[in-house]
Amino acid sequence: MHNSKDFSTAYRRHIRNEIVPEVEGTVAAISELKGSFLLGIVTAAPHFEVEHFLTHLGLNKADFFLIQAADESEYHKPDPRVFDMLIALLQERNIRKREILYIGDSLLDFYAAHYAHLQFKAVLTGSTNREQFQTAGLSAEDILNSIVELPRKLWHERPGH
């Protein structure tokens, strides 16, 4: 039997030594997006892990108006209430729920966004493949190979562009 505190300490040590390979072009895509969109992170990862990976990739926490990690939320995907804080903060900025786009790489992401009535686009850099997303009901045009395709997709879909 292992002590949960010992496990947590060992896990944190492991993560701090973990090198995260960037999906080529991700940092550039995020840099491009942050100039025109509010970016946020709602993740099932613990906060220390998110901070480590952002730092490792050279991303600045200040680029994201919200970083909500698993240890900071009572709810977890696929429960749509995981987005309650995000929605409330955006509504304070006069951004309507129907204007929110959530990007995810798993069916849990898709279901949480769907049941929260948020727009959703999938990226195929995680645990779910194209066929699984389509079987769940996501249209082919809402499935991207990676986040690198997102800026071009958003500019193309934006009215007047």
- Looking at CATH, the fold of the domain delimited by 4-157 is given as Rossmann fold (3.40.50)
Q: 121: which strand partners? A: 103
Strand, coil or helix: 68:
strand
In angstroms, rounded to a whole number, what is the distance separating the alpha carbons of residues 95 and 144? 24
pLDDT, residue 141, reads 96
**pLDDT truncated to tens, each residue of the chain (161 aa)?**
556 666 667 666 656 667 767 788 999 999 999 999 999 999 999 998 899 889 888 999 999 999 999 999 999 999 999 999 999 999 999 999 999 999 999 999 999 999 999 999 999 999 999 999 999 999 999 999 999 999 999 987 765 54
Q: What is the pLDDT of residue 32?
A: 95
Sign of the CA dihedral running 120, 65, 19, 108: negative
Q: State the pLDDT at residue 82.
A: 98
150-157 helix and 26-34 helix, angle to the nearest 10 degrees: 40
- List of residues 6+ apart from 29 with CB closer than 8 A: 147, 148, 150, 151
How many Cα atoms are found within 13 Å in the side-chain-facing hemisphere of 100?
Answer: 24
Asked whether the beta carbons of 123 and 29 are under 8 A apart, the reply is no
